[in-house]
Each structure stands twice: as C-alpha cells, then as structure tokens.
Amino acid sequence: SNPDVKYVYHQTWAYAQGSTYAPFENYGKNQLTMYNAIANVSQRVKDIVAIDMLVPAGTAIQNARTSALGDAFNVSDGYHLNNIGKYIAAATWFETIFGQSVVGNSYKGGFSDFEVLVAQNAAHLAIAKPFEITSMATYEAQPIPLTSSVLVDFGNAAPSPSWNQMAGFTVNSKINLKDSLNVFVGMALTVTQRFNAINTDGARATTTPLNMPQNVSSQSFYGNSKGVFNGITTPQGVIEISGLINTLTYNFSFFGSRAASDNRETKYTLTGANTGSGSLNPSSNSTAIATVNNIRPNAEGKIILTVTSGTANLSANGWFYLNAAKITSNNN
C-alpha cells in the first residue's frame, strides 16, 4: 500500500553454451534460443505486472559474449555468474537505477582495463537496447609489452590454467590471447592456411622450459606436406600473430611431439620485418624445443608463423607437428 514502492524486473541471463544443467534441455541446449525466450518475456512482463524499471542484465551478458572475452561469464555449473559476470550485472543495475552511464566508472573490481571496458559497455549498450544483442566484436584489447609469457596450447583436450587453447585448425579459426597471469594482451592468432587435423599421440611426460601439463604436450595440430591424408594434402600450416607492438622484438619457443620412430623434422618459420626459423624432430620427443628470438613485427604489428616439414624429414607423408608455443617480448 506504500505509494512510493518501486518494482524492478531483473532480466536473467542465458546459460553458458556448454552448461550441463538439466533445465537447459528446455531450450534445446542452445544459448541463443534461451536468450530469445528471456528477451521475449522481458518485453511482455509489463503487461502482466506493473513494473517501474527493467534491468536488462541478460542482454548485457549476451552483449559481452560477442566480444573477445567470449562465453566466459559463468562458473563451472554453467548458470551462476562468475565474478566478471557479476560485475556486468551490477553495472547494469547501476545505470538503470541512477540513470548515469557506467562507461568510464572508476571502480574496476580488480579486473583488467580490457575486461572493464567490455563489461561497462556491455551494460550501457543493454540499457540502450534491452531486448536485442549488440555486437561487441570490434572491442579489442590494446597491445601491451609482455611482462609475463603468453602460452599457447594447440589441441582440444581439457584446457589448462595459464594456457590459451587454440582448438580450431582450419582457415579463419581465431583466438584472442592472455598472458600466463590471465591478462588480455591485445594479441590474436588466426589460421590462414589450415592444418590437417589434431593428433593425440604426443608425449605426456615432458622436460622442457615450457613446463607443459600433459593436456598440452600430448596434442598437436599436424599436417602432411606430401601425399594425401584425410582426403587432403597440407603443405604447410600458417598462423597470423597480430596485435604486436612493431617497435619491440619477440621471442618464440615451440614444442612438437608424436609417438614415432622415423625422422619427422618440423620447421617453424617466423616472418615479420625480419625472418627467423628453428627446427626439431617431434618423433617421440619429450625434451627438445625450437627457439626463434628477436623477431620484429611488420608495420601492421603482425608476424606470420609457417609450420612445415624440415629438410631432414624422412616420413612418407612429410608429417609435421605443432603442440605448444611460448611467446615473450623484449621490452628494453
């Protein structure tokens, strides 16, 4: 009976696409189907209940999922929000209640500048369009000098902490990179010439400076420079490394491994403003890495990685492998 009471409708969010929570079956385990159902109810709720405010937290989360952060706002159960997800929801509540843009708010909650940029803008865009997704694909982290290594796992085993996982081996597969401290560094990897597929017979116990868990060392992107396999020949696999600072130089270490007895030498070539290469024999390898130092990006801040069979490769199909990589920058 209090005339000053205000009613607020909190729009929930769709579950993570990989959620195993049973109610997700109601939406065919499809995140967009669930989001569209939530948005539809949100539009009609004012005709059912007298509400004064709508907080479009679900749209804010969905906006953020279109950014480089990806579908990374839930805890392991796939439906509760993690800390950055809660920050986005709180930012949406703040702007709804106070009518003040949250973009540029000084409270960062311990998140990186890029995460805050995405979170605040996701909320702000949801206020403007509460019932539809606004793409944030153009929001990218600014390139920064690397103060911690960038570690890359080429495979699709369970992801390992501190490692970026690149599971896509076909053209246009892309990931945005974090360093080993979980900070976005503005770098991205994009496949421009495909590999054949993923191999799972690499070494599980290794002794290298990369300190790889077995989930990383045991899987690889592989190619065949000679002969047909899986219906194709892949003379080389090529990955574009972008978002680099063209006044710095970068160091690269590569690991390749596959249970075998013949020589399957693999060559890793890096091309930017200058070029360097290194090779190793991945056959039953558990200790060797190939290192290429002091590569400077081109004017666009890019370095091209080409992986192919080396001159000592004796395998009939010219097999070559890329299991893992480590990237650092020379900041002096």
**Does residue 7 have a pLDDT over 80?**
yes
Do 317 and 171 share a domain, yes or no? yes
pLDDT in tens, 237-263: 999 999 999 999 999 999 999 999 999
Give 41 or 75, the one with higher predicted confidence: 41
From 93, 128, 163, the end of a domain falls on 128
Which one, of 285, 225, 227, 230, lies nearest residue 260 by Cα? Answer: 285
164 falls within a domain = yes
Question: CATH code at 297?
Answer: 2.60.120.430
pLDDT score recorded for residue 10: 98
Q: Is residue 227 part of a domain?
A: yes
Q: Which helix (H) or strand (E) holds 73?
A: none
Same domain, 93 and 171: no
Beta bridge partners of 322: 221
Q: Are 231 and 292 in contact (CB under 8 A)?
A: no
CB atoms within 10 A of CB 231: 6
Cα separation of 136 and 58, whole Å? 15
- Chosen domain end from 128, 163, 189: 128
Residue 237 tokens, joined:
């696999």
Best CA proximity match to 281, nearest among 259, 303, 266, 268: 266
Paired strand residues for 284: none
Would you say 152 and 177 are in contact if contact means Cβ atoms under 8 Å apart? yes
Q: CATH no. for residue 109? A: 3.40.50.1110
The two three-digit tokens of residue 268, written as one number: 């890793």
The answer to whether position 47 is within a domain reads yes
Q: Residue 104: is it exposed, middle or buried by C-beta count within 10 angstroms (0-12/13-18/19+)?
A: exposed
How far, CA to CA in Å, does 117 sit from each of 72, 111, 216? 15, 10, 31
Q: In whole angstroms, what is the distance from residue 241 CA to residue 85 CA?
A: 29
- Residue 185 forms part of a structural domain: yes
72 falls in which pLDDT band (50, 70, 90)?
A: confident
* Bridging pattern class, strands 164-166 and 150-154: parallel
pLDDT, residue 89, reads 98
Q: Are residues 165 and 308 in the same domain?
A: yes
Shared-domain flag, residues 74 and 106: yes
Angle between helices 57-65 and 113-128 (to 10 degrees): 130
Q: What percent of the chain has pLDDT over 70?
A: 100
200 and 309 in a common domain: yes
Q: Which domain holds residue 111?
A: 8-128
pTM (2 d.p.): 0.81
On whether both 172 and 213 belong to a single domain, the answer is yes
**Structural domain contains residue 311:** yes
pLDDT tens by residue, 123-159? 999 999 999 999 999 888 889 999 999 999 999 998 8
Place of tokens 């998140």: 111
